[in-house]
Amino acid sequence: MTLISVDRVSFGYTAERRILDDVSFAMESGDTVGLVGESGSGKTTLLRLLLGLARPDSGTITFDGASLDPRNAAFMRQFRRQAQIVFQDPYSSLDPRQKISSIIAEPLRSLRIPGDHRQMVADALSSVGLDADAAGRYPHQFSGGQRQRIAIARAIVAGPRLLLADEAVSALDLTTKIRIVELLASLGTRMSLLFVSHDIGVVAALCRRIVILERSRIVESGDTAEVLARPQHPYTQRLLASVPRLSLKDTRS
Amino acid sequence: MALPFKPRYCCDTPRARTSAILAYTLRRTLILIVSLFVAAVVLFVLLRLLPGDPANALLGVGATPQQIEAARAQVGSDQPLHVQFGTFIGNLARLDLGTSFVSRASVLEEIGNRMSVTLPLTALGFLIAITLAVPLGMLSAIRADRWYGAAISVISQLGIAIPVFWVGILLVTLFAINLRWLPSGGFPLRGWSNFGEAAIGMVLPALTIGLVMGASLLRYVRAATLDVLGSDYLRTARALGAGFTEALVRHGLRNGAVPVISILGIELATTFLGAVVIERVFSLPGLGSMLLLAIQQRDYPNVQGVLFVSTLLVLIIGFAADLAQRLIDPRLRGRTRVEA
């Protein structure tokens, strides 16, 4: 079943410059999709449109068959309950003056979800591998990786069907990055995951399907293993060639 | 998936937090006392640097050497400097500010009387400033792209540029001379026992202070709000489902308050000191006019007393602002160190 369908979407912050140009792709329910492209290719803008934070200039976006309309408050509340996001910077996306319990419970309060919020927060914390007593602390008392876990806990606390991640591991060091990718992969079995990244290696490890964006357009998409094994578009080929590899040269001589 | 280690922090429990705040308060109090001592030293040195002897203030032009000697003995200026300093500090520690050369009245009592004008004036002005600055500053940030957002911003800029005495004169011209709604100045002789007249006398001066101080405060509120509006946590809150107002109230107020509070402390201190000018414009018998009169009459004990009490108040305001900031900001709360 198609969860998200983006059909011929164009968007620009100003009339002169298009950030997205005639972009189309679809995502099945339960799928993990990686949206890859370099800085300025339009990834984050596409995510903003998918979240309903901006409206496309032309084209349509549908979620579960219904058109995504930011002006329809009732629909948006339903939508937000089903689609939640993790942003890139784990330092700035958490309010420094709120306790972790309050930060994680935010979607529950905003979306007026009934139930025992304290228990739901504890469950979300345990799903991301944090102790329950983290709830009583403040963001500055955690490391970058732990903060990103908190951001993920906040995104999954309302039980969404779709998790969007905007460069969610880019700000982390390598070992922390691997742990967070593992965490996202385990969550990917429970919900659909749309992972936006410039890091093709992370996408290869995490996503079944890949969509490659270059300068406002989608240049290639398909099964991740296939695309990476036989890249058709020159940009994809360049992208693959530019992945840094660890080469251990003998420098002793 | 458990973490390999379990971090512990100094402020995990409410009890540890309370003791951290207490430790901070204690350190800060010590610093307050040291600052006050330094201020007293500076005050002592500055007054001794002035040309002439305090005793001259007591005497006429044609005083005989014997009379001068007697007067010097009376005010203590015949003693060596270190003895004078010891007496000065000892008296301050007992809150004995001496007696006026001119009126022979206790300086502390006189300051108390004058405070009954200056304190309500500052407080009222401050209240007006906050009432204007907080909502208008937030509005001008939220609606920075509308004409009224820009207008508020421009007007506040003007308010900063205009000197406080000129705003006072402008208000007097409008409300006292043209409209005849309010008195142009003065304060009832019986003070606050004549409440109605005293309160009416406070309106224009407090409004002057409130407008001028509100203008600069508004800039800070606006900047703090713009910061919050551009913050990632606000965007995240919106993306996760909070409405704009909801997100702003939940995240904006507290985060915006921290920088504004530190400014509030400085502004309050400035207003208190600026009351000298305002009291002059509106002929109010406050601390400012007491200081001016004392300087004109070379009434050393009065000058010394007013300056010392003003310093004390400014230091206490700074202390309160620092403490309020700690209470609001959890990141500062755990720290017991006092930053310069």
Q: Which residues of A119-152 are buried (b: 16+ CB within 10 A; e: fewer)?
A: ebbbebbebbbbeeebbebbbbbbebbbbbbbbb
CB–CB contact B238 A53 (8 Å)? yes
Identify the band that residue B72 occupies on the pLDDT scale cut at 50, 70 and 90: confident
pLDDT at res. B340: 40
Identify the band that residue B10 occupies on the pLDDT scale cut at 50, 70 and 90: very low
Secondary structure in 3-state letters for B183-194: CCCCCCCCHHHC
Asked if pLDDT for residue B53 goes beyond 60, the answer is yes
Rounded to a whole number of angstroms, the distance from the CA of A155 to the nearest CA of chain B is: 8
Q: Which domain holds residue B276?
A: 115-322
- Kindly state the DSSP code that residue B250 receives in the 8-state scheme: I
pLDDT at res. B97: 82
CB-nearest to A92 from B233, B242, B328 is B233
- Residue B42 located in a structural domain: no
CB–CB contact B331 A140 (8 Å)? yes
Asked if pLDDT for residue B306 goes beyond 50, the answer is yes
CB–CB contact A97 B6 (8 Å)? no
Asked if pLDDT for residue B240 goes beyond 50, the answer is yes
By 3-state DSSP, what share of chain B in percent is helix, strand and coil, each rounded to 5?
75, 0, 25
CB–CB contact B251 A80 (8 Å)? no
pLDDT at res. B132: 92
Identify the band that residue B34 occupies on the pLDDT scale cut at 50, 70 and 90: very high
- Residue B120 located in a structural domain: yes
Chain B stretch 251-310, residues whose beta carbon is closer than 8 A to a beta carbon of chain A? 251, 254-255, 258
Rounded to a whole number of angstroms, the distance from the CA of B237 to the nearest CA of chain A is: 7
The count of domains in chain B is: 1
Asked if pLDDT for residue B60 goes beyond 70, the answer is no
Asked if pLDDT for residue B1 goes beyond 60, the answer is no
Residue of chain B with shortest Cα separation from A103: B237
pLDDT at res. B9: 47
Contacts of B231 in chain A (CB under 8 A): 92
Count helices and strands (H / E) in chain B. 14, 0
What is the overall mean pLDDT for chain A? 85
Interface predicted TM-score of the whole assembly (ipTM), two decimals? 0.73
Domains in chain A: boundaries:
2-240
Contacts of B241 in chain A (CB under 8 A): 77, 80-81, 107, 110-111, 158
pLDDT > 70 in chain A, percent: 97
State the average pLDDT over residues A243-247: 71
State the average pLDDT over residues B15-21: 76
- In order of A84, A85, A212, B103, B118, the CA distances from A196 in angstroms are 14, 11, 10, 80, 61
Find the angle CA(B201)-CA(B156)-CA(B264) to the nearest 5 degrees. 70
CB-nearest to B1 from A94, A138, A183 is A183
Asked if pLDDT for residue A221 goes beyond 60, the answer is yes
Rounded to a whole number of angstroms, the distance from the CA of B264 to the nearest CA of chain A is: 20
Contacts of A53 in chain B (CB under 8 A): 235, 238-239
- In order of A162, B139, B165, the CA distances from B149 in angstroms are 38, 7, 27
CATH number, domain of B295, equals: 1.10.3720.10
Name the interface residues of A facing B (CB cutoff 8 Å). Answer: 51, 53, 77, 80-81, 84-85, 87, 89, 92-99, 106-107, 109-111, 128-131, 133, 136-138, 140-142, 146, 151, 154-155, 158, 179, 182-183
State the average pLDDT over residues A43-48: 87
Contacts of A142 in chain B (CB under 8 A): 7
Q: What is the pLDDT of residues A86-114, one digit of tens each?
A: 888 878 888 888 899 999 998 898 888 88
Q: Confirm or reject contact between B181 and chain A (CB < 8 A).
A: no
Residue A172: closest CA among A183, A164, A188, A186: A183
Residue of chain A with shortest Cα separation from B230: A92
Identify the band that residue A250 occupies on the pLDDT scale cut at 50, 70 and 90: low
- Residue B173 located in a structural domain: yes
pLDDT at res. B7: 47
CB-hemisphere CA count at 13 Å for A137? 22
- Residue B35 located in a structural domain: no
- Phi, psi of B122, rounded to the nearest 5 degrees: -65, -45
CB–CB contact B2 A51 (8 Å)? no
Rounded to a whole number of angstroms, the distance from the CA of A51 to the nearest CA of chain B is: 7
Taking the domain A2-240, which CATH number applies? 3.40.50.300
- Residue B23 located in a structural domain: no
Q: What is the pLDDT of residues A142-191, one digit of tens each?
A: 888 888 889 989 988 988 889 888 888 877 777 777 888 888 888 777 88
pLDDT at res. B337: 52
Q: What is the pLDDT of residues B153-177, one digit of tens each?
A: 888 888 888 888 888 888 888 887 8
Rounded to a whole number of angstroms, the distance from the CA of A115 to the nearest CA of chain B is: 17
pLDDT at res. B334: 59
Q: What is the pLDDT of residues B111-159, one digit of tens each?
A: 988 888 888 888 899 899 999 998 999 999 888 888 888 888 888 888 8
State the average pLDDT over residues A119-135: 88
